[in-house]
Amino acid sequence: MSKRISKMLFSKERVELNAIDDMKNIANSLKKDYEKQSTELKNLKNATKQIRNKFVKITQDAAGLPKLYSDTKKKIDELGVDMPNDFRKNYEDASELQQKANDIVGELGRIDAMIQSL
């Protein structure tokens, strides 16, 4: 075989070997990136669950507000004194926060279900 043909064959083999190395490097990089993002997704799942649980606690803590408000208002009326101005306002503010927390719990539940399916 001539030197020229020999060089061409060697060059062709080197190109094929480079393609194999490139494929291996790309596959390894993809695997590394996938594993990193899978870890991030797992962290997101855990964070979403923890946040949802905290908002559930808020709604549970606020569940007794209507009865507390009603009982206190009844006692104030029985005593014949004026209800403090901020009492009703505080109740309304807390009730609004409870409703927002309920909405967030629902949204986080949907997000959690979507993430868990991945």
pLDDT attached to residue 11: 61
The confidence band for 33, taking pLDDT boundaries of 50, 70 and 90, is very high
pLDDT attached to residue 114: 87
37 and 29 Cβ atoms separated by less than 8 Å: no
Half-sphere exposure of 53 toward its Cβ, with a 13 Å CA cutoff? 6
In terms of pTM, does the model score above 0.85?
no
73 and 108 Cβ atoms separated by less than 8 Å: no
pLDDT attached to residue 3: 59
pLDDT exceeds 70 at position 2:
no
Give tens-digit pLDDT for 48-105: 999 999 999 999 999 999 999 999 999 999 999 988 889 989 999 999 999 999 999 9
Q: Please tell me the distance from the alpha carbon of residue 112 to that of residue 103, in angstroms, as a whole number.
A: 14
